[in-house]
Amino acid sequence: MRNFKSASQKWYIVGLMMVFLSVALVGCGTEKSKEPAPQQNAQPVTLLVSAAASLTDVLADIEKEYQKEHPNVSFDFNLGSSGSLQEQIANGAPADVFISAAKNKMDALEEKDLIVKETRKDVVKNTLVLIVANDNDNIKNFADLENAKTIAMGEPESVPVGKYATEALTSLNLIDKLKAKMVYAKDVRQVLAYVESGDAEAGLVYQTDANISQKVKVAAVADENLHSSLVYPAAVVKESKNQAEAKAFVDFLSSDKATKLFKKYGFTVIE
């Protein structure tokens, strides 16, 4: 009887231990379920980014860098002249983020309450330059443009680089002398293409666009005092259905990783 009683006590103790262990495991499972889901399990999101054509190359690199931390986010870039993109958004075209090459295009949307004002930020600056073909030794400064046969520039009303070029040439008292020689382009990349192909003897583009071409060289750099501030603002579009994700991307544009890429392409980062 003594041995039987001892065995019973042992099984009783084992039973209690099993109960305590089960309760502990259930508790751990409950705590674990409260942890946030890992990023890779987040719902897939596609951000539609309307951005100035001059950002084409750097945005391709920024996209890759961003997706390392946000694998659930993919991008659809709508690249073109800032004026055309601004008009598209104003007319109801879908967009999550707008990155303009001119403040006045962003101002136009803000005045109509079409962007989330608190997300707006100036990201980078650029430089206006005069370019010619590599073998062109006839045009070495802005004054030499009077000897050029054709000059390419962006359409001033819709293409910011065209607006800056007009301001610079006006400041230099050259605009009236050169108007008959002008070939107008739909965006800065088309200006670059005109000079690369020889359809224009010279062109006015951003430093960052000149940097990516092996067929042109910079003949002159426009002093920043010759034109209005060449700043790129970014903001979340108010009608975006992905507000949180769009804001996260706009914030990323000022991160150390994005800053490194902007500098790589020749942009000046705004601190």
- Which residues carry a binding-site annotation for molybdate? 54, 82, 188, 206
| Lateral strand order in the sheet of 128-133 | 182-185, 151-154, 202-206, 128-133, 216-221
Detail the residues annotated as belonging to a binding site: 54, 82, 188, 206
Using alpha carbons, list the distances in angstroms from residue 216 to 12, 44, 123.
89, 41, 27
Supply 54's token pair. Answer: 């001059």
For the chain, the distance separating the N- and C-terminal CA atoms, rounded to the nearest angstrom, is 86
Supply 89's token pair. Answer: 């958004």
* Contacting residues for 251 by C-beta, under 8 A, at least 6 apart: none
